[in-house]
Chain A
Amino acid sequence: MEVPDRPLPAATFEELAMPLFDQLYNFARWLTHDSAEAEDLVQETFTKALRGFSSFQAGTNFRAWMYRILRNSFLSSRTGLKTTVPLDGENDDIVLPAETSTPESMLLEQADRDTVQQALAELPVPFREILLLCEVEEMSYQEISETLVIPIGTVMSRLSRARKRLRDLLRKSSNGGRHGM
C-alpha cells in the first residue's frame, strides 16, 4: 500500500484503513475462532489505530502496522493468552521438508477446501497466522517480519515449519479418511 511521505490528517486514516476491513476481520476470525470476539478485536484494532495514527510513521507499511495492532490486541486478550504456545527452536536452521512423493502431491491437489480449513484451524496460532499472512494476505517476508516483529530469517524458518505441520495434518486426515472408508 502506498503511503504518502508527509504526516497524514485524520481524514485519511479512514481512506487507508477501511479497505483493510474485510481482510482484518477474516484474520481476526481465524485467530479467535469466534465471531463476537473477532468483531470486538476488529473494533478495538480500528479504535487503537485511529488513536495512535499520529504516531504511525509515514512511509512505513500501513498494512503491517494495522495487522500488528490487531495481533497484539489478540495476544493480550483472554483467548490470545490461552491459545498462544511458545515455539521451540525458533532460530534453528531451516527444517528440511519431508521427502515428497507423487501420491502426496496428488493428495494435496485433491484436498478440498474444508479439509484445508480444518487443518489450518488445528495449527498452533504462530503457524496459522504466518500462513495466513503469507498465503492469504500475500505479504512479502519483509511485511511479515514487520507485522510479527521478528527477523526475516525467523519468518523463513517459521513458515517452513508451518507448512510442514500443515502437510502432516493433511496427510493424517487423508489417511484417516482412507481408513474410515
Chain B
Amino acid sequence: MACEQWRNGLDAYVDGELDPAQAGALGRHLRECAACANDVLERVQMKRSVHAAGKRYAANAELRNRIQKTISAKPRREAGWLWKILAVPALSLLILSVAVGFYARHEADRRQRVYSELADLHVAALASSAQVDVVSTDRHTVKPWFQGKIPFTFNLPELQGSPFTLLGGRVTYLAQTPGAHLIYQVRKHEVSVFIFQDRGEETASLPSGPVHAQSFTVQNWTQNGLRYFVIGDAGAEDIEALRNLLQRAQ
C-alpha cells in the first residue's frame, strides 16, 4: 500500500519537521489519498486542541514579583546610599589594617634579622679558634683594650661572688656599626654580650626585655645611649643575672 511509506512521516509533517523535499512529496500524496489527508487533518486538529487546552494556568503577580526581585541585578536605592556611607570608613579601615599589618610584619622581620645576626655573631665567635682578641678575665685589661677601637666606652661589672667568668673580648660589627663583643662563661655555657651605640636604625626600635631567638635567650636594653644585648644558651635566670650585673656597673 502506497500510504505505508508515509505513515511514519505524518507526525513530522504536521510538526513542520520534514525537509522541504519530503514535505512537498507528502503534500502531493495527500492530494491523492483521502485516508492520509484525513489522518493529517485529525493530527492538526489534535495539535490545536492540545495547544489550546495546554495553556491552562496563569501564575499570580505575587510570584512574579518575588522572582523578579530575586534575580534582579540592579541594587536597590536604599542599599545604594547605605553602601556609600559605609564604604568610606570601611575602606579606610581596610587600608589602615593592611598598613598596620604590613608595618608590624616589617618590624617583626627587622627584629628577627637583628637577633639572627647577633646569634650568628655569637656562634661564629664560639666556633672560632680565636674566640676573643683580648684574652683576659680581668675587666681592667679588657675595657682599655677597646679604647680607640670603638667610638664609645663602657664599664664592666665586678664578677667576684658571681658564677660568671670573663673570657675576653673582640670588636664586632652590626649593620656596619662597630661594637664590643664580650664573652662570659657561666656553668660551662658561654654567653655573649654585645654593646653598640643606640643610634643605628637596626637596633633603635628593638623592644627591651627577654626574647627567644633560635633557641637562644636574648636580653636587650638601652642604657646611657648604648644598646646592650646578652645572648646565650644558658638558663634565662643566668642571662638575667648577667644583665643585672652589667646594668649596675654603668
A residues bordering B, Cβ < 8 Å? 9-11, 13-14, 17-18, 21-22, 25-26, 29-30, 35, 38-39, 42-43, 46-47, 50, 94, 96-97, 100, 102, 104-105, 108-109, 111, 113, 116-117, 120, 131-132, 134-136, 138, 140-141, 156, 159-160, 163, 166-167
The answer to whether A26 and B56 have CB atoms under 8 Å apart is yes
Residue of A nearest to B74 (CB): A11
Measured between beta carbons, the chain B residues less than 8 angstroms from A116 are: 49-50, 52-53
Q: Could you pull out 13 A-B pairs where Cβ atoms are within 8 angstroms?
A: A13-B71, A14-B68, A14-B73, A25-B57, A26-B56, A42-B63, A43-B63, A100-B42, A105-B42, A105-B45, A135-B51, A136-B51, A141-B17
The stretch from B4-12, B118-126, B194-202 touching chain A is B4-12
| A42 adjacent to B59 (CB under 8 Å) | yes
In the assembled complex, how far is the CB of residue A102 from the closest CB belonging to chain B, in whole angstroms?
7
Minimum CB–CB distance from A98 to chain B (whole Å) comes to 10
Instruction: Indicate whether A47 sits within 8 Å of B49 (C-beta atoms), given known contacts A26-B56, A100-B39.
Output: no
**A10 to B74 Cα, complex, angstroms:** 10
Residue in B38, B64, B67 whose beta carbon sits within 8 Å of that of A102 in the complex: B38
Partner of A104, one of B42, B63, B64: B42
A109 near B73: Cβ-Cβ < 8 Å: no
Residue of B whose beta carbon sits closest to that of A135: B50
In residues 62-89 of chain B, which contact A (Cβ within 8 Å)? Answer: 63-64, 66-68, 70-74
Known: A39-B63, A102-B38. A136 touches B73 (CB 8 A): no
Q: Are A141 and B15 in contact (CB under 8 A)?
A: yes
Which residues of A lie under 8 Å from residue B50 when comparing CB positions? 116, 120, 131-132, 135-136, 166
